[in-house]
Structure 1
């Protein structure tokens, strides 16, 4: 059996056609049973010997044992844990889990913000033969119940009393739950099976090292060790089963494709703050950190409320990852600070950024620009901005989990910061495609991680087709969901992503849309919304979010939200416009400073300016069917608390369509 595989690597940009697909009759490539095993996708392009999480960690301890692994603040002071101490704490946690009755292939749910205890619980669970299952800290009690019940959680580790209260509400409805551990703060309630972190770790004294070693030795690379739950935007969340090999192979190879360095060459410093229940943060922060001896600094729980920059300044990361909305928020803060500074500083920043952007976007013909001026601009202006952000030593800046706009990428290029995109999904253990300093193209996701494969099906005339995956990153299957698992794998074992994309002659991938989000008009034209939405935001800097409407409709319409400030405690959007939005209003002749002033009074100047921006987008449209005919401004920006965004601040289109159905119907 043969098929066309696109197999590209950093050293070999040309496709290798007609690679043999392994004989699938030997063993199934997927399973839906938590105690099942799968045939690993090993062939000549990814021949690395499969290892378990414990084997990976033990190898790192032997190499990096004396180096600091985890750092967190307690009472204003940094506390450090070396790799040797980290490993021993994970063993201690594993023995404590066994003492509490953790059964093999049953889960430990972890509910809380990033911390050493989160990491130790996750690794300790795997050592003890359990399944690490992150639960989003923003989940409601009902959402916590769904995950904890579905994964048969024997133990749940919570951060504090606030998270504990959620579990107390559902404890009686969790038949497999044996104990709960709270790792921060004092216990405010009494329960026979509720433990502080100190009490929990002391339970390890009753379990021998020999018993734990027997459990560890019984583990195999093709067995499940991690569950990642999808966002559940179109139904109940699905439990994505990842094997030891998924975790260890991806941590080793995807990270190197992104130019992350082993500690013997340079110990990478990173800041952990994105939700660890999401695969991107878990692979980047936790598992890759173990593999290459990274020094992980933990941000404060209020990182996304404004304190992240403080941690970055102290940690001085060499590598940093953010989801697009995080990069956008930092961009908005810089613009706001610039707008409030003196005219000389504003002009200096504008000069430096425009000069640097031009140079970076035309790097292939640098000879046409005098290198002296960009260097001066960087030294006098831009280096100070990067220092203010905590990026003075940062060599790699990554974005993932959602598409990032051209406007955001260009802004950072102007600061001499190149953002490297990655592409993958929970079902590919995170990144299947990566960018790096030697593997980058503007608004592309990079190239395939060496050893991974990709193909495109149902391609159109422009080469856009559904992206399909093959490789050691590909997951085991959805927990107890045979139908759903069967839907994403074809008969040859390829994983169908549901995303649409194309690849150029040099192997760079561009993701252009998602099949489920693809708009098919009443006239039958297929329209990927992301490109049009990005164009609107590019032409209208007052717009925070743009959602294109028009599936099975006679014409396209759009929902818009405006850039507004947020409540730092709840992250709920407020009525006040951001500095950048106010500046836009002033430039078009409006005195508005609030969203309600614009929407409630239908501010003529702002509405006219937005229509002008829409007209510019329409003039760029490839056909009349791709022109926006109607639009409206919503009274409030999208948010996690509003239900329009998921935990990684990626918009939930189906939720938006439901919530604003009346506004949409008014268009038609």
Structure 2
């Protein structure tokens, strides 16, 4: 058993709650711009004083409506300024926020509202309200449903007009670090989602150390970030709270179709995204360069960026690499950075492994991707690469005050102040993952090197054991496969079988451009058996196989005509693969792989 920990470097508050940051900001720096709100006329600045006033007004409305301290209030919306506004208003009212993915079905909404005992819902659109209405039967504790589309902010503001500042302040101070701040429901790759109980203290511990460790992101002059990931996910939520705490200017982008335009207008100094976003940016740039007849130039530029970054790990890139890098900085890399607004120096990545190649590529073009690791149950990050301590291919060291242990079976266990209080109303599930001495069982398998850097190698429950007794972690192969331009999703199979195989879906945006370049016609479904396309996918498989032994390598694969989506039920809202669903839906295709 291997263990690594670092001492706590900050004093974690023993009193107060997350609302204190909003009050402190307004009192100490009332005119500081803490948000930029997207409006029809463009980006509108919101000062610390204005944010406090707006949060207070909405909180008074919640109190007037009968929301009591400790009550659960559900929030269903895309990522937008009002999400953050309502989130803090719920906390000001002493209540608990229950985020719900805006893509959730009526059945999923019904389960979360019923399980959490939500007393009120703030929903974004009429469609969301309709889904809540469909789910409402039997929800006797649900008293109110407000819609942002129907001016929920104004309605609550008017409703709370008679609530005094003193009454609000008394309610705001109700919560302590030990009290519940939010119930975040796991997206549920199997079974019903479970409500993770995260306290104000969990967030205060996490952000206390994270903001200090990520000082160059949060506290440099003019620091700003644009959120476009769902705020229902703990990853985006922790950046929201960190930005408020550090007075980092925060913006929201609700529609991925407008993201590039929003990035260029907002010009963030850092962003956060999941690996699939970084893969898409790379693949889109490569595809566009090929279509413009500059494919070879882009390929040389990419290889140079990777070589330059790898050279940094050895001390310094060679003279030849530095010369090529200088040329491509002017011709290629600057344009890629401009697509993100031109000011981004760092990006934060989580949710899945990024992979060595992409990590080196982005650092090579001037955007260092700080990869971290954590779960909903751990209030986001347990470990992270930070400026000044980056080891590409790892998820960084544990944050100060956090300990990691590698169990005898390879499972990673963590202990720290950001570890959750347990699952809402589910003591059995809590006992299965959280030991009495505080060690949390992640379900992930990994290793820790001599410097404390953690490497994730797979999910414990997803380890495949072939008929020959070989243990295979599918994540290593899948991550490398998804890095290919044509591959959208994939799932490695082979449990109990004589060899490893894979199901692969194609990227519907990349295939048409490839088909045109290769003089092919037809839809994705028409091309899955095309010899040239299969040969292209085979190169991706061959590249992935370089990461594993022969016994672990993919011997056969099948390309599926349809993609896997959240709407189709194969992916969770955070884009994790529901393996049991895929295995059930494609059991015939898996059986055919093995004859």
TM-score by length of 2: 0.93
Q: CA deviation at 1:620?
A: 6.0
Quick check: 1:227 aligned with 2:170?
no
The corresponding residue for 2:381 is 431
Picking from 263, 266, 271, the partner of 1:312 is 263
Aligned residue-pair number: 591
Which whole-Å CA distance do the structure 2 matches of 1:604 and 1:213 have between them? 69
The corresponding residue for 1:81 is 46
CA-to-partner distance for each residue in 1:188-247, whole Å, 9 max, x for gaps? xxxxxxx74312211111212222222223321111111111011211101001111111
CA-to-partner distance for each residue in 1:250-294, whole Å, 9 max, x for gaps? 12212332345455x42421112111110000001x211111001
The corresponding residue for 2:31 is 66
Q: Is this contact kept in 1: 2:310–2:317, CA < 8 A?
A: no
Q: Is this contact kept in 1: 2:2–2:448, CA < 8 A?
A: no
Which whole-Å CA distance do the structure 2 matches of 1:168 and 1:328 have between them? 38
Q: Is this contact kept in 2: 1:106–1:131, CA < 8 A?
A: yes
Give the secondary-structure state (helix, strand or coil) at the position aligned to 1:87.
helix
The corresponding residue for 1:500 is 445
- Following superposition of structure 1 onto structure 2, how do residues 512-551 of structure 1 map, counting pairs within 5 Å? 512-537=457-482, 541-551=485-495
Structure 1 residues 372 and 611, CA gap change in structure 2 (3 angstroms) = closer
Which whole-Å CA distance do the structure 2 matches of 1:520 and 1:203 have between them? 60
Picking from 534, 551, 564, the partner of 1:638 is 564
Which whole-Å CA distance do the structure 2 matches of 1:412 and 1:592 have between them? 34
- Following superposition of structure 1 onto structure 2, how do residues 447-596 of structure 1 map, counting pairs within 5 Å? 447-459=397-409, 465-537=410-482, 541-565=485-509, 577-580=511-514, 583=517, 586=518, 591-592=520-521, 594-596=523-525
Picking from 276, 280, 284, the partner of 1:329 is 280
Q: Is this contact kept in 1: 2:515–2:521, CA < 8 A?
A: no
Structure 1 residues 606 and 282, CA gap change in structure 2 (3 angstroms) = same
The corresponding residue for 1:360 is 309
Q: Is this contact kept in 1: 2:73–2:97, CA < 8 A?
A: yes
Gaps of 5+ in 1: 10-43, 187-194, 460-464, 566-575
Picking from 235, 241, 260, the partner of 1:280 is 235
Q: Is this contact kept in 2: 1:396–1:420, CA < 8 A?
A: yes
Picking from 316, 329, 341, the partner of 1:378 is 329
Picking from 344, 369, 377, the partner of 1:419 is 369
Structure 1 residues 613 and 135, CA gap change in structure 2 (3 angstroms) = closer
Which whole-Å CA distance do the structure 2 matches of 1:200 and 1:665 have between them? 57
Which whole-Å CA distance do the structure 1 matches of 2:471 and 2:275 have between them? 26
Which whole-Å CA distance do the structure 2 matches of 1:406 and 1:637 have between them? 26
Which whole-Å CA distance do the structure 1 matches of 2:543 and 2:127 have between them? 48
Structure 1 residues 378 and 659, CA gap change in structure 2 (3 angstroms) = same
Which whole-Å CA distance do the structure 2 matches of 1:664 and 1:274 have between them? 33
Q: Is this contact kept in 2: 1:248–1:287, CA < 8 A?
A: no
Q: Is this contact kept in 2: 1:8–1:453, CA < 8 A?
A: yes
The corresponding residue for 1:568 is none
The corresponding residue for 1:48 is 12
Give the secondary-structure state (helix, strand or coil) at the position aligned to 2:302.
helix
Q: CA deviation at 1:582?
A: 5.7
Q: Is this contact kept in 2: 1:246–1:473, CA < 8 A?
A: yes
The corresponding residue for 1:21 is none
Q: Is this contact kept in 1: 2:353–2:479, CA < 8 A?
A: no
TM-score by length of 1: 0.84
Give the secondary-structure state (helix, strand or coil) at the position aligned to 1:228.
strand
Give the secondary-structure state (helix, strand or coil) at the position aligned to 2:316.
helix
Structure 1 residues 623 and 604, CA gap change in structure 2 (3 angstroms) = closer
Q: CA deviation at 1:52?
A: 1.1
Structure 1 residues 374 and 113, CA gap change in structure 2 (3 angstroms) = same
Give the secondary-structure state (helix, strand or coil) at the position aligned to 1:114.
coil
The corresponding residue for 2:553 is 627
- Following superposition of structure 1 onto structure 2, how do residues 53-202 of structure 1 map, counting pairs within 5 Å? 53-184=18-149, 186=150, 196-202=152-158
CA-to-partner distance for each residue in 1:69-94, whole Å, 9 max, x for gaps? 22222223222211111122212211
Give the secondary-structure state (helix, strand or coil) at the position aligned to 2:145.
strand
The corresponding residue for 2:534 is 607
| Alpha-carbon RMSD | 2.3
Q: CA deviation at 1:604?
A: 2.7
CA-to-partner distance for each residue in 1:11-32, whole Å, 9 max, x for gaps? xxxxxxxxxxxxxxxxxxxxxx
Q: CA deviation at 1:123?
A: 0.8
